[in-house]
Amino acid sequence: MKRKKMLLCSALLILSLTVLSACSSANSDTAQTSSAASETVDSTEAPETESETAENSSTDTIGTDFLDWVRENDRYKSVGAVSKEEGAISGFIMDASGKPTTEDLNDILDFTSKAVASGGENDVFFVVVEDPDMQETIVGTSKGIYTGEGTVTVLVYSERLVSEENQVSADGTVYKYQVDRGYYDAGIATGYFNLAAIAHGYGTHMFQGTALSGGAVGERSANYDQFLKDEDGSWLVYRNGDTTSEQWYGDHPAENLKFVCAIVVGTMDTDINIDGFTGPTVRSEYPANYAYWSGYQETPEETDAVSSATTETEGTGSESETADTLSSATAETTAAGGN
């Protein structure tokens, strides 16, 4: 209706200008015609702007529509297998028709690169493996057949996961060793990747326990070095985006990135139905494990115990001794039923 009104106004405006031009001189007529043309352009742009406004107002429902689609179509579930036995059939389409396109993968990885990270550091790196044989070497078949011509396997690496004594560096750089943040960043980025894959209509299955061993905590994952090297044997380079730290900002060789997990990506076979198995993983329930803080306040007994411990140690002991005393007081209160 609004569009019709705008078009009607435009027509009336042009008609008015035409009448005015007919009553004026030749020079005036030229000027009026130019003005009419200008007004016509303005009127044709107005509906587009209004349409854009309407489109923006509708974006409020896009997110919830997507979440509803994910839930209603079991898209939140990873692609599973008939059983967790050697060679069991999985829910992926195994022929090339199910393989994610390069265009889709690039879009998924671009979205993933926008993931938030500890300290703003882009210290997570992804490697796409398309060769079916190598995919099987990485993932194995002991829990089912998850890889083939119709899948790609994406390897997730993260910095800050190799202890200083286990690092190798051609230029002597010593990288941070912060296990909690390294895995935290990799987990966030993997979540972004999974969400983007779902949005493109693909399914995923993640493997941290792979057939190709990734190495213990703090150690380099030497088995996965081969995927971090170029054809001439040189290390690939990734870029750390922490602009707040001159030490870490810029290009880094991939020599001390540690393998975290492998993500198999493909298209779920919606036609599969083997003994009730239809593709997604089967779990008994998806409990809502969250709560809202209720505003809990310490009991008088807890407050008195901590205050007493603070008074006794104030100015008489070291920081560690004070902390030990406070911990002891808290433990005693807890044992007495304070929590």
Predicted pLDDT at 161? 94
Task: With respect to residue 224, please indicate whether it lies within any of the assigned structural domains.
Answer: yes
Total number of domains constituting the chain = 2
- 3-state DSSP helix/strand/coil percent for the chain, to nearest 5? 45, 15, 40
C-alpha 126 chain-centroid distance: 12
* 212 and 133, same domain (yes or no): yes
* 195 and 242, same domain (yes or no): yes
Q: Residue 114 half-sphere exposure, CB side, CA atoms within 13 Å?
A: 8
Task: With respect to residue 261, please indicate whether it lies within any of the assigned structural domains.
Answer: yes
* 240 and 138, same domain (yes or no): yes
* 229 and 173, same domain (yes or no): yes
Phi and psi for 246 in degrees, rounded to 5?
-65, -30
Residue-wise pLDDT for 231-249, tens only, equals 999 999 988 776 666 667 7
pTM for this structure? 0.70
- Determine the average pLDDT of the residues in 254-264: 94
* 192 and 137, same domain (yes or no): yes
Task: With respect to residue 325, please indicate whether it lies within any of the assigned structural domains.
Answer: no
Q: Does residue 125 surpass a pLDDT of 80?
A: yes
Predicted pLDDT at 165? 92
Q: How confident is the model at residue 64 (pLDDT cuts 50, 70, 90)?
A: confident
Predicted pLDDT at 104? 98
* 31 and 89, same domain (yes or no): no
* 179 and 215, same domain (yes or no): yes
* 113 and 248, same domain (yes or no): yes
Task: With respect to residue 72, please indicate whether it lies within any of the assigned structural domains.
Answer: no
Instruction: Quote the strand ranges of 28-82, DSSP E.
Output: none
Last residue of a domain, one of 14, 29, 63: 63
Q: In sequence order, which ranges of 163-274 are alpha helices (DSSP H)?
A: 179-199
* 152 and 17, same domain (yes or no): no
Task: With respect to residue 330, please indicate whether it lies within any of the assigned structural domains.
Answer: no
Put residue 316 in one of left, alpha, beta given phi > 0 → left and psi -120 to 50 → alpha. alpha
Predicted pLDDT at 307? 67
* 99 and 28, same domain (yes or no): no
Go through the chain and tell me how many residues it has: 339
Last residue of a domain, one of 212, 234, 266: 266
* 58 and 18, same domain (yes or no): yes
Task: With respect to residue 283, please indicate whether it lies within any of the assigned structural domains.
Answer: no
Q: How confident is the model at residue 296 (pLDDT cuts 50, 70, 90)?
A: confident
Q: What is the C-alpha to C-alpha distance for residues 158 and 188, in angstroms, rounded to an integer? A: 11
Q: Which domain holds residue 128?
A: 77-266
Task: With respect to residue 168, please indicate whether it lies within any of the assigned structural domains.
Answer: yes
Task: With respect to residue 331, please indicate whether it lies within any of the assigned structural domains.
Answer: no
* 128 and 162, same domain (yes or no): yes
Predicted pLDDT at 122? 78
Last residue of a domain, one of 231, 266, 301: 266
Residue 251 sits in a domain of what CATH number? Answer: 3.40.109.10
